[in-house]
Chain A
Amino acid sequence: MTPQQLLYSTTHEWVRLETDPAGAKIATVGISAFALELLTDLVYVDLPEVGRQVTAGEPFGEIESVKAVSDLYSPVDGEITEVNTELADRLDTLGDDPYEAGWFVKIKISDESGLAGLLDHAAYQKQCEQETPNDQ
């Protein structure tokens, strides 16, 4: 899947929607190249345990750069089913492949109504343009 086919939250998480063999909707979540570019110099990521319940708009972890720490917000309601445990050791190359190898967690969605609040690629691009610091 290309970045154009993903959904995005206003807090810069991307979401890839798939249906597992049992018919459940699974959201794979990461953070966008735009957000990684702004963060730079990542030093730490804190991800939840498998099984944890998450709520759309609420923090599920944190990501820390030399400059500052930022919360990671869940884009959907559901339960954590998988965590990318390799991420912590490859933070310095996260920016090389943020949309495939750079996934953070998989969430089994419990309530699909929240998906309506996510942005498509075009709308997200527009938001990023507005947030781009004017000196860069």
Chain B
Amino acid sequence: MVDFAGWSMPQQYTSIIQEHVTSRTAVGMADISHMGRLRFEGPGAAVFLAELLTRRVGDLDLGQVRYSLVTNPQGGILDDVLVGFYHNEHGQPFYVLVVNAANRRKILGWVQAHLPPERAEAPGEEVICTDLTRLWAMFAIQGPRSVELLQPLIDVDLHLMKYYNGAQVRILHPAAQRQGGIITRTGYTGEDGFELSVGASVALGIWEAIMEIGRPLGIVPTGIGARDTLRLEAGMPLYGHELSEGINPFQAGLGYVCYLVGYDFPGRDALKVLERQPLDKTRIGLELAGRRVARQGCDILAEGHKIGRITSGSHSPTLNRPIAMGYVPPEFAQPGTELQIDVRGRFEPARVVKLPFYRRSRKGNHK
């Protein structure tokens, strides 16, 4: 077990490589209850969220989920989040914001600072924000057999659920004790899969039910070790590595999630300026020629001169070689560029490659 933003989490259950490979070939399930989840409801919720997030909120269709950023007034990245729009069992709308565990208090602080009683209780524009993190567990069920696994438990047709869509659902198992949940076709692995939020009091029973149903499909529980190698292969940035307040969305390759002509969220004006400036550095993927792994903090060099730094690196179980992400000036970011990485004093040759490192073959009817 390891500490992760104050949560005690399994690094691996058996083997990171085995859990990784099973998530790519069959199905794996991770307990991601550490992810912060904030529910926003009330007629003022959409506008309030639009004034926090870099992306539009008001135009979300029912069930739609959208990746977005939260930036500081200078345009630095405070968090990367998912926002989803759902109806509860009474048909009332609400939003769920999924934030990084390490950033939950930061985001909650911003919400509290910007939601004085006169705004929260303005007639006809009320906003209620509830931190559900400790009340709801969350499981990531990822892999090509995830639809087959979960369908018997869920009262909507998962085959028809599109990527980045979700729903408030009933869970068809006695372990759920008639409680519902929220399921979304999202994930952090580059694989087909779902994320399921259920009440904490029934979560253990539901976890065991899914493991039981999944046994013939080859399910394995997966720890944060495999979660990290899976997301790295998928080229997905991780807060605290590729993303931080010292990085802006354009450097991170996330300019496409910044909608700069809408609501005045923090950092919008700074981003309008940054958008017009040439990039000083950009996020790249690297494949190493040798076996030694480049990890966060290693220097990236071009012909002996330091040009940047590694933000994440690991062994790629799929490619069976070390891969890494980092930031370099744009003139070194062209795929095929040969660079070196200083791995504990020895220079390891590496080549810039297009992200992601791994892309699944899309046979399903989603997206």
Contact = CB atoms under 8 A, between A and B. Distances in A.
**B-side binding surface: helix, strand, loop or mixed?**
loop
Contact of A40 (B1, B16, B317): B16
B15 to A, nearest CB: 5
A70 B314 CA distance: 14
Contacts of A40: 12, 15-16
Contact of A69 (B8, B15, B344): B344
Contact of B16 (A41, A46, A88, A135): A41
B314 A66 contact: yes
Contacts of A67: 11, 16, 225
Contacts of A88: 291
Contact of A44 (B1, B12, B292, B317): B292
A135 to B, nearest CB: 5
Nearest to A136: B1
Contacts of B315: 41, 43-44, 64, 66
B16 A69 contact: no
Given A66-B314, A66-B315, A67-B225, A44 B17 contact: no
Interface size class of A (residues with CB under 8 A): 10 to 19
B1 to A, nearest CB: 5
A133 interface: yes
A64 B1 contact: no
Contacts of B344: 69
B292 A135 contact: no
Interface residues of B, number: 18
A133 B17 contact: no
Contacts of B16: 40-41, 66-67
Given A66-B229, A66-B315, A133-B1, A46 B15 contact: no
A33 to B, nearest CB: 15
Contact of A43 (B8, B11, B225, B291): B291
Nearest to B320: A43
B293 interface: yes
A43 B293 contact: yes
B15 A44 contact: no
A44 B291 contact: yes
Contacts of A46: 292
Contacts of A44: 291-293, 315
Interface string A117-136: 00000000000000001010
Contacts of A69: 292-293, 295, 344
Interface string A63-82: 01011010000000000000
19 contacts: A40-B15, A41-B12, A41-B15, A41-B17, A41-B225, A41-B315, A43-B291, A43-B322, A44-B293, A46-B292, A64-B292, A66-B16, A66-B225, A66-B229, A67-B11, A69-B293, A69-B344, A133-B1, A135-B8
